[in-house]
Amino acid sequence: MWASVGLLPCSILTLLFTSTATLAASFHVEPRSLTTFSDTDIVSLGTTPDPLKHIDPYNPHSHLYRILIPRAPDTENNTFVRNHIVTTLRDLDWHVEEDAFEDNTPYGKKRFTNVIATKDPHAPRRIILSAHFDSKFFPSAPMNQFVGATDSAAPCAMLLDLAEALNPMLDARMHRMDHDQLDDEEQEASETTLQLVFFDGEEAFENWTDTDSVYGARHLAERWSSEFVSPLQARKLRGVATQLDSIEHLVLLDLLGAKQPIIQSYYTSTAWLFDGMVAAEHRLGLLGLFNEQSTTNAEGGEWHTWSSFFKPRTSFEHQSGGIQDDHIPFVKRGVNILHVIANPFPRVWHTINDDATALDLPTMKRWTLIFRIFTAEYLRLRMSDRSSTRLVKDELVSTS
């Protein structure tokens, strides 16, 4: 991602929002009150499976540990990380597509591969949670060892945690759907599935330009804008035609994992989702799930109370500030975006210090809990579906 200097003039922003509205738009979802879980349900989903299990950068069995390596596009390490993401999601019985393509870069033609994981590929609509899994390319040492902990190894690990945490409820809903056991309310809810997208090639190889950046996002947005859905999906979507049209919202995670992030609302069309995420954080905090021991290593640190990650929302947002990221090709095509990015950027941004030491475990844990609650409530999942799930020993909550 890249941030230009200063904010965009109001006239330019107005033109941007007006012009994108005339392009192909995603499926229109009216702002609504999200399902609200009980305190007991929030504690249950916030503690099981263990939210620290896969986000600890020092645990060799965690997702984050496996992702936290140099992984520039078209390298063996990039393939290793991609294979880990693909294997993890296929083992959870998700439909996984590897969207491979080639593009020209300042260093010649490179091969990129997006990972698109969909729980129910037959659902007519989807909410996408996404992050980029590549790390920035640097040609020489020591910067060629850049691992991009916040950018965006940690967000990728959070998405894999989300898939594992919600999978029992998603499976139970699909089982009822297959056996024609859905009531009217769940029938409507089941028409929206969860899709996770891991973009390749977000980072520029040299200087950020329209052609040297967001390679994977540009390719996928263009492809989906001309890829038609099945006739059955089109009927359920009230006549819309392309894959882009079936997206309710795209939530993009970036630059997360460092202490004290500031998260802003950038788009009026998703202000209600921003508010839903704020509400999820507030309820989790009131239940004491954020009062943790702050640490950047495995030996512990000081205890602290919590303050919100989110900046209060104004009546009309003029805060885009020129932040360039994987959402831009989708914004230009009218997709509703919720951009969850630390702004100001972490101090370690694009430095060799964006490694495990830049991450704060309680901060990352809070993010996993927020995304679990927010997404489950958006999808109107049933917490009762978790009660029949047998937990293995290593899924119990960490006491560290």
Active site residue 254: yes
H/E element holding 192? strand 192-199
**What is the C-alpha to C-alpha distance for residues 54 and 270, in angstroms, rounded to an integer?**
29
**Helices H / strands E in the chain, number of each:** 11, 8
Q: Compute how many other C-beta atoms are within 10 angstroms of the C-beta atom of residue 228.
A: 12
Angle at 237 between CA 235 and CA 241, to 5 degrees: 85
For the question of residue 354 being annotated catalytic, the response is: no
CA distance 274 to 375: 12
Rounded Cα distance between 6 and 345, Å, is 14
Pick the closest to residue 277 from 152, 154, 366, 399 (CA basis).
366
Does the bond joining 142 to the residue before it have cis omega, within 30 degrees of 0? yes
Look up residue 371 and give its two tokens.
């995304």
Q: What letter represents residue 314's amino acid?
A: T
Question: Looking at 248, 254, 325, 377, which residue is catalytic?
Answer: 254
The C-alpha torsion from 78 through 80 and 83 to 87, rounded to 10°, is: -140
Distance between CA atoms of 174 and 176, rounded to whole angstroms? 5
Catalytic member of 99, 134, 202, 292? 202
Euclidean distance between CA atoms 65 and 274, whole angstroms: 29
DSSP states along 151-173? IIIHHHHHHHHHHHHHHHHHHHH
Provide the annotated active-site residues.
202, 254
